[in-house]
């Protein structure tokens, strides 16, 4: 046993010195080559747009449409003139300072809310938000002078949207004279059309849907009888747009108007389509539409 150990040690030392049997193992695999460097290639192609080739929807057409009237208020409001009294003569020198006085019931007016439209001689209305205070005649003249002779005032309640209230007792009319009595400027005993809306400039959100509204005195509309013909001209309308009101109540709206100037005409006509005589019965107003920007404030 001793002899075997002595010979074993030198043999192990020699094997270690010669690398043992490792020469018969395969060499390790070489490391992988580095990835090739590829320079970026510039492209002249336009960026891809998600909705490329999809045409924009055309704008909604300009139109005049009738809509249901707002519900009648309960109790129904009433309006009357306390001044002037029928046939009153107002001195010329004091005409501008003459005070109109209203008596309004069941209609709680407030700024930018319910109010009363007051019209002098078929001029554009003035919105009265405080009906308890007298209204100077000069306020309704809007810079004009009042001629001598016969003059007519009308008044009726209006909602915050300016749609008029058309219930019994809501309409008031008063006749007076300036300086001296004279021939009537309008025969208030005959059918009368009172133009109310639209008027003035419309801008922003208010320019997309514009109320067309009117009032009547001494006449009732019905199919085959008297009616109101409304004609609108302006941008986006070929020639003109004509609609007919055969009932007194539902208002009309000018929808989707474009920027620019529109003319709105209201005519009271008979069953034959011919105009009914009267200085108020054929009225036109010019309005402006500005969907972007700022237009003068208007009520």
Task: Supply the CATH classification number for the domain 63-290.
Answer: 2.60.40.10
Predicted pLDDT of residue 79: 98
SS3 content of the chain, % helix, strand, coil (to 5): 10, 35, 55
Burial of 192 (0-12, 13-18, 19+ CB in 10 A): buried
Predicted pLDDT of residue 31: 61
Domain residue limits, the chain:
63-290
For the chain, count helices (H), then strands (E).
Answer: 2, 17
Predicted pLDDT of residue 240: 97
Predicted pLDDT of residue 52: 56
Predicted pLDDT of residue 57: 78
Q: Within 13 A of 20's CA, how many CA atoms are on the CB side?
A: 4
Give residue for tokens 């709206």.
253
- With contact defined as beta carbons under 8 Å apart, do 214 and 192 qualify? no
Calpha distance 122→113 (Å, rounded): 23
Q: Mark the ranges of the chain whose per-residue pLDDT is less than 70.
A: 1-54, 293-299
Tokens for 251? Answer: 């208002």
Cis peptide before 198 (omega within 30 of 0): yes
DSSP-assigned beta bridge partners for residue 202: 289
Calpha distance 228→247 (Å, rounded): 9
């Amino acid at each position: 046993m001793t002899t075997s150990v002595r010979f074993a040690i030198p043999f192990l030392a020699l094997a270690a010195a010669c690398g043992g049997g490792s020469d018969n193992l395969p060499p390790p695999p070489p490391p992988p080559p580095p990835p090739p460097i590829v320079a970026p290639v510039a492209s002249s192609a336009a960026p891809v747009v998600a909705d490329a080739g999809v045409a924009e929807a055309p704008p909604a057409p300009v139109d005049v449409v009738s809509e249901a009237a707002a519900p009648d208020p309960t109790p129904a409001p009433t309006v009357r003139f306390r001044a002037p009294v029928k046939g009153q003569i107002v001195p010329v020198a004091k005409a501008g300072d003459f005070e109109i006085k209203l008596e309004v019931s069941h209609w709680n007016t407030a700024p930018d809310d319910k109010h009363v439209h007051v019209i002098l001689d078929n001029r554009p209305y003035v919105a009265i938000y405080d009906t308890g205070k007298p209204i100077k005649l000069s306020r309704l003249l809007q810079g004009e002078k009042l001629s001598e002779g016969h003059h007519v005032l009308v008044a009726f309640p209006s909602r915050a949207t300016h749609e008029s209230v058309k219930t019994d007792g809501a309409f008031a009319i008063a006749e007076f004279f300036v300086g001296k009595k004279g021939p009537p400027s309008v025969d208030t005993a005959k059918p009368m059309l009172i133009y109310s809306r639209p008027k003035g400039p419309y801008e922003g959100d208010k320019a997309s849907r514009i109320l067309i509204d009117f009032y009547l005195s001494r006449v009732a509309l019905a199919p085959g009888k008297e009616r109101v013909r409304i004609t609108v001209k302006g941008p986006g309308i070929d020639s003109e747009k004509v609609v007919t009101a055969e009932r007194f109540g539902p208002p009309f709206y000018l929808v989707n108007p474009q920027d620019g100037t529109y003319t709105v005409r209201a005519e009271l006509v008979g069953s034959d389509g011919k105009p009914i005589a009267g200085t108020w019965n054929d009225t036109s107003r010019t309005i402006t539409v500005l969907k972007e920007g700022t237009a003068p404030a208007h009520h």
